[in-house]
Structure 1
Amino acid sequence: MKVLYDHQSFTGASYGGVSRYFFELLRSFAKRDDIEFELSLRFSNNEYLDQESFSRHFRFRPLAHLQNVNRLASMLNRIHSVQRLQKAKFDIFHPTYYHKYFLNYINGKPFVLTFHDATSERYGHQYPELGENLNEVKKVLIKKADRIISVSEYSKQELLTFYNIDPDKIKVIHLGTSFAHYRPKQVTAPFEFPYLLYVGKRPLYKNFPDFFRAIQPVLHRHSDIHLVCAGGGAFTRAEQDLFHAARLGHRVHYRPVTDSALYGLYQHALAFVFPSLNEGFGIPVLEAFSCGCPAVLSNRSSLPEVGGDAAVYFDPDDDASMADVVERIITDDSLRNDLRWKGAERIRLFSCEKTAQQTYQVYKELV
């Protein structure tokens, strides 16, 4: 069996949950002899592919800030993917995002679509930059796909809510994280002060500004506690103004991330906080569990499904709820220790190998 993956999620993103999902899938399949795959990619600055590259692509980091260069890279990658589709030397096609360019070239071969979340469906009107126009494209792909992989039961229910689809066409396959087995050679404490850790993008439905507003009184009461934001881009001017207006500018820190740096940030944090309004799965939750970091999560979307009883939860629309739970995690040593133990147990339910095996079964049913 040979599977063809395309360029989409690897073209423009150095980091990100979708490209990481496909990278971990390919890395698991590379260890097996019952499946072959090809990643059709010519230009990419994706950081995960620096660990193990599954394509002979070119990197263009010095030019990555130029919009026209990225557009050209995307166009050339699509041309290359079309050429690989036209060669038809594969049994299954698995696109890595939602563009429908391939439908005219797939020539009857089966394709599998992964549905990550319904963020654009839920919030596209409120935040047009999320890609409200994705919904019509998704509708076409969901109808034509031979199988749909949903990354959580929550996302499956979102699929059924927003699209007319046979439930039997959907297979729920939870994700895993390589952090479960990742052990850096040396992990040093990144800061000398205690801190809460926020990971990933911050705007829009990620709910970071509202979360920061809610916990300002807590941070003022506990003057030794800092807030560290890892990844997601450097702070904007508006964010910096927000921190300084709260008289907390010296206690909110940004750090870019590599795997080793992120592992250390999780391992030494008082707790990981995730106030998002909508997540299809939430890989950072598993990363926190893998590193022995207590998790404090929004009680929305898939997060309770992933976190189970190994996390504590707040209402992300309620300032008092967010503040109360954060204060509790800061002041209760026994709670943090209990969550570390429960997280170590919970992570055993998820693995990249399990994700790959269940995905393989979906492919096998179509060949």
Structure 2
Amino acid sequence: MKIAYVHSICNRYDAISGAINNEIGWLQKRGHEVTFYAYSCEYDHLPHRQVEAERDVVFDLRFQESDLAIFHFGVYYPLFNTVIATPKSAKRLVIFHNITPKEFVSPAARETIDRSFKQISNMAFSQLVICDSETNRNVLSAAGVTVPTSVIPLSIQNIPKSVRSKPSFSDHVPRIVFVGRLVASKGVLDLLEAVRRILQASPNRRLQMDMIGNLSFSDPQVVEEAKCRIQTLESTYDGLSIELHGNATEVKKYQVLSEADLFVLPTLHEGFCIPILEALSNGCRVVTYENSNTPAISGGFADLVETGNLDALSATVSRVLEEVSSDSWRNQGGHALWAKSALQYTKQFSPDAVEAQFIRAVERFAGS
């Protein structure tokens, strides 16, 4: 089967790009011929054709000869308009990753969000929309999209076979980790404020925090504000160490997660949220705001906090830090039992499990 894939980019440290990379590999393993159209692609092994405008896709012979066209959509990009010009003989499938509501983005980005919600109407030209989550499917329903939909989750990489004990069990320095874009909607500044309140109440507490975020997709103002707050906190509290990693490699990210006791993400909106699953698979307790897809994706393993309630966030993080520092957690099997259950939960999102769902859905839809 000849398959055309369309998206704006496929870059490292980006969840949608990671999904595209996985899916194309899965389809190629099945013997399908894939051509990927995008403005840029950082994965050299993908069958990428660099384009500059819609015409470069529409008039390409491979696109015109395709049996199936797959479009990813999560924010406005002009190439998504080519779904309208897909050959009549080709099936049309859209994979939807949600759109961040404009109240959660910077003023400069709000026009793009408005255009994104308008561009959802292009889905009327598709014959099936696959959503990452029920949360995302509900967004489409609210937007008036009536084409058939199904739900297939994203996958997470490098799920460990087992979870080892944490370094804090021996050095007695609990570790917090944050993974996400450094933007207001991910709550990075709320996290830093919560840490400040915790240390203000316990100035002698020892604490290490690692923050990993894709700087290419972050808000420069939020990044600078975070750096200023980190400097102030570290100069005020001798027992605190914070490292802002920026574009960490996958190896570094999983090393940090494997060593962390607690993952904190005070996010305002999530369509899926791979970092929560990555944290759970590595034996991290999770604290997150309760909204959008966070209750569903955490599977009952997270401590959910009222969105925007800094008092509750600070209190919950402080409580969980005490729990993961306790003898019952470290030495009497508390962590081992919890981590085993959390790891088992995340295995349903393994690449093999999601690949089977994805291939079955795509080939059934295409009739191959």
TM-score by structure 2 length? 0.80
Matched, 1:205 2:185: yes
| 1:240 corresponds to 2:227 | yes
For 1:134 and 1:287, the matched residues in 2 are separated by 32
Q: Which residue of 2 aligns with 1:177?
A: 156
Q: Which residue of 1 aligns with 2:122?
A: 141
State the alpha-carbon separation in 2 of the partners of residues 212 and 329 from structure 1. Answer: 16
Q: What is the root-mean-square deviation of aligned Cα atoms in Å? A: 3.1
- Residue 26 of structure 2 aligns with an amino acid whose one-letter code is S
What letter is aligned with 1:274? L
Amino acid at match of 1:241: C
* Structure 1 equivalent of residue 316 of structure 2: 325
For 1:99-114, what aligned pairs fall within 5 Å after superposition? 99=77, 100-103=80-83, 105-108=85-88, 109-114=90-95
Change (3 A) 1:219 1:16: farther
After superposition, residues 157-236 of structure 1 pair within 5 angstroms as: 157-161=138-142, 163-166=143-146, 169-180=148-159, 194-220=174-200, 221=202, 223-233=205-215, 236=223
Structure 1 SS opposite 2:26:
helix
The alignment partner of 1:118 has SS state of: coil
**Matched-pair contact (CA < 8 Å) for 2:191–2:264:** no
- Structure 1 residues 85 and 319, CA gap change in structure 2 (3 angstroms): farther
Asked whether the 8 Å contact 2:9–2:39 carries over to 1, the reply is no
Please give the per-residue CA displacement for 1:326-350, whole angstroms capped at 9, x wherever unaligned: 1122111326555422211211222
- Name 1:119's counterpart in structure 2: 100
In structure 2, the partner of 1:129 is: 109
Q: Secondary structure at the match of 2:29?
A: coil
1:251 maps onto 2:241 in alignment: yes
Relative to structure 1, the CA distance from residue 283 to residue 160 in structure 2 (aligned partners, 3 Å threshold; closer, same or farther) is same
SS in 1 for 2:176: strand
Name the structure 1 match of 2:343. 344
Please give the secondary structure, in 1, of the residue aligned with 2:177. Answer: strand
8 Å contact kept, 1:294–1:336: no
TM-superposed deviation, 1:40: 3.1
Equivalence for 2:131: 150
Shift of 1:158: 1.9
Letter aligned with residue 190 of structure 2? D
Alpha-carbon offset, residue 127 of structure 1? 4.1
Does the 8 Å contact 1:281/1:303 carry over to 2? Answer: yes
Residues of 2 paired with 1:318 and 1:134: CA distance?
A: 31
Cα distance, 1:208 vs structure 2: 1.4
From 74, 90, 94, the equivalent of 2:70 is: 94
CA separation of 1:55 and 1:252: change in aligned 2, threshold 3 A: same
- Secondary structure of the structure 2 residue equivalent to 1:281: coil
Amino acid aligned to 1:5: Y
Q: State the shift of 1:94 in Å.
A: 1.0
Report whether the alignment pairs 1:2 with 2:37.
no
* 1:17-37 Cα distance to aligned partner (Å, 9 max, x none): 11111112223333334x442
User: Aligned equivalents of 1:314 and 1:133: distance in 2?
Assistant: 29
Residue identity opposite 2:128 in structure 1: R
Secondary structure of 2:299's aligned partner? helix
Structure 1 position 139, deviation (Å): 2.7
Asked if 1:357 corresponds to 2:337, the answer is no
Equivalent position of 1:18 in the other structure: 16
TM-score, with structure 1 as normaliser: 0.80
1:289 is the counterpart of 2:243: no
- The residue type equivalent to 2:131 in the other structure is S
Q: How much has 1:313 moved relative to structure 2? A: 1.8
Deviations 1:261-305 (A, max 9, x none): 111000001211111110100011121123232222222111111
Using a 3 Å threshold, how does the CA distance of structure 1 residues 337 and 182 change in structure 2: closer, same or farther?
A: closer
In the TM superposition, residue 128 of structure 1 has moved relative to its aligned partner by 4.4
The CA distance in 2 between the partners of 1:306 and 1:89, in whole Å, is: 39
Higher strand content, 1 or 2: 2
Indicate the larger mover: 326-335 or 314-323: 326-335
Whole-Å separation in 1 of the counterparts to 2:214 and 2:39: 25
Q: 1-side partners of 2:128 and 2:48: how far apart?
A: 29
After TM superposition, give the deviation of residue 6 of structure 1 in Å. Answer: 2.3
Does structure 2 conserve the Cα–Cα contact (< 8 Å) formed by 1:294 and 1:343? no
Please report how far the alpha carbon of residue 79 of structure 1 lies from its aligned counterpart in structure 2 after TM superposition: 5.6
Quick one: which amino acid aligns to residue 64 of structure 2?
Answer: A
Distance in 1 of aligned mates of 2:160 and 2:122: 35
Residue matched to 1:62: none
The correspondence for 1:280, drawn from 249, 271, 285, is 271
Q: 1:122 to 1:141 in 2, by over 3 A?
A: farther
Q: Secondary structure at the match of 1:119?
A: coil
- Matched to 2:313, the amino acid is M
Indicate the SS of the match to 2:158: helix
> Given that residues 187 and 267 in structure 2 are in contact (C-alpha distance below 8 angstroms), is that contact kept between their aligned partners in structure 1?
yes
- Count of residues paired in the alignment: 335
Change over 3 Å in CA distance of 1:127–1:302 after alignment to 2: farther
Q: Distance in 1 between matches of 2:13 and 2:267?
A: 18
- Please give the alpha-carbon distance, in whole angstroms, between the structure 2 residues aligned to 1:323 and 1:40: 45
Cα distance per residue 1:154-175 (max 9 Å; x no partner): 11112222x1123x61111112
**How many angstroms does 1:259 deviate by?**
1.1
